[in-house]
Amino acid sequence: MSSSQTFFQEILSTLEIANRHLKLPTAVYERLRVPRRSLIVSVPVQMDDGSVNYYTGYRVQYDFARGPAKGGIRYHPKVNHDEITALAALMTWKCGVVDIPFGGAKGGVACDPTIMSKGEIERLTRRFTYELGLIIGPESDIPAPDVYTDEQVMAWMMDTYSMMKGYSVPGVVTGKPICLGGSLGRNKATSSGLVTTVLEALKHLGMRIDGLTVTVLGFGKVGFHAAKILQDLGAKIIGVSDSKGAIYNPQGLDIDAVAAHKAKADTVQGFKDAENLTNEELLTIEVDVLIPAALEGQINLTNVNRIKTKILAEGANNPVTLEADEVLKANGVFLLPGILANAGGVVVSYFEWVQDLQRFFWNENEIDARLTTIMTKAFKEVLDIAQEKKVDMRTAATVLGVKRVADAVITRGLYP
């Protein structure tokens, strides 16, 4: 983010840029500049020592024009209303880009789950779910995992909501364990979708996957699976990082071995077959593909001029600031924006929701094939807009996503 703009204001700036090409009716454009509903709640939690802590929780439902709201839940100390609103807007455009029948939402609690026990996180989750109970549901708003939440948190959310209803409601959340109605392929869906867009970009740019050099910023679920899939396809992962630092080996890293080391050491640093670097040092390594897969604002004016990559694929939501975007564009970097590149997660969440509603489940090959079809189609549609309008891929993706939402708003009309 620029120093003069909040995260949400930056998202509104991308909307304004897209609207220069769309020229939406004023009433529709103004509708898309504000969320439909924001809920801020106090979440009391009894801690293991008997004390009670009060946390602030948020859920923003940005738009419902195309269907129920959809979006993740994050637990992080820096969660705030502006961030959640911005991410809800991005989810709205993202669902439009991949053309699935959802609106966008986001939620979170300002807390530090790394210093909380499992029992404390469970009690936080159940109380937060209770507070959200009036506005979430399989026909209204379907949460999913995000930063520092996982399938166990989704299981607690699903169970709490079901207790409130008096019967099992698996479709209230996605990203659940398989035994509770989760979908096969969901754990690697975001990464699989990202790799599909990278492969399409390689075709477009006349590049090959064999020997392709890749660095991944953020070695969590998205970063690990993206690195693993690309390595299995013949790419060379030469650097990865987490919140504590980075590692680098120009000959390539064994991703499974790095994951095993991280599981023991709680960091990728110290891996025996690599050199320790800082995250900023890893950014300066010349590479074919750079995948930022941690938090937003990772690449900004302080470091963007040192980045040397041909393709930048956003595994995280908005890891590149608007100002840094302009520098990457001037430097000829082919950018795969998050509302396209990391949309695989919400696509397979959609599959999970459909399977839960019909109580009929697909095999993993079906899910992978459907995901690849949707992601390939979305990439080609975004690229077509970029070439037709002579704009960058982020602007093209925003134009596509916003247009689909705007079309739904216009067609439904204003009630009453």
Residue with tokens 């930048």: 312
pLDDT at position 127: 98
Cα-trace Rg, the chain: 21
E strand or H helix that includes residue 264: helix 255-265
Indicate which residues carry an active-site annotation.
Answer: 106
* Residue type (1 letter), 154: M
In CATH terms, 188-341 corresponds, of 1.10.10.10, 3.30.930.10, 1.10.1060.10, 3.40.50.720, to 3.40.50.720
Please tell me the pTM assigned to this model: 0.94
81's CB contacts (< 8 A; 6+ apart) are 38, 40, 58, 60
CA dihedral in degrees (338, 344, 346, 352; nearest 10)? -170
3-state secondary structure of 34: coil
Report the b/e string of 62-99 with b at 16+ CB within 10 A.
bbbbbbbbbbbbbbbeebebebbbbbbbbbbbbbbbbe
174's CB contacts (< 8 A; 6+ apart) are 142, 143, 144, 154, 182, 183, 186, 349, 350, 352, 353, 356
The rounded percent of the chain whose pLDDT value lies above 70 is: 99
Q: What is the average per-residue pLDDT within 262-271?
A: 95
3-state secondary structure of 329: helix
Whether 7 contacts 83, CB under 8 Å = yes
Q: Cα(354)–Cα(342) distance, rounded to whole angstroms?
A: 20
* pLDDT band at 297; cut points 50, 70, 90: confident
Q: From residue 402, give the alpha-carbon distance in Å to each of 63, 98, 326.
A: 11, 12, 21
Same CATH topology for 35-169 and 188-341? yes
- DSSP-based helix, strand, coil % in the chain, nearest 5: 50, 20, 30
pLDDT of residue 1 exceeding 80: no
pLDDT at position 4: 65
Whether 304 contacts 298, CB under 8 Å = no
**What is the CATH architecture of 35-169?**
3-Layer(aba) Sandwich (3.40)
Mean pLDDT computed over every residue of the chain: 96
Residue in 243, 306, 315 with CA at minimum distance from that of residue 278: 243
Per-domain residue ranges of the chain = 35-169, 188-341
Q: From residue 338, give the alpha-carbon distance in Å to each of 87, 205, 247, 319, 365.
A: 11, 19, 24, 8, 25
The rounded percent of the chain whose pLDDT value lies above 90 is: 94
* pLDDT band at 294; cut points 50, 70, 90: confident
Q: What is the DSSP letter of 364?
A: H
**Tens digits of per-residue pLDDT, 333-363?**
999 999 999 999 999 999 999 999 999 999 9
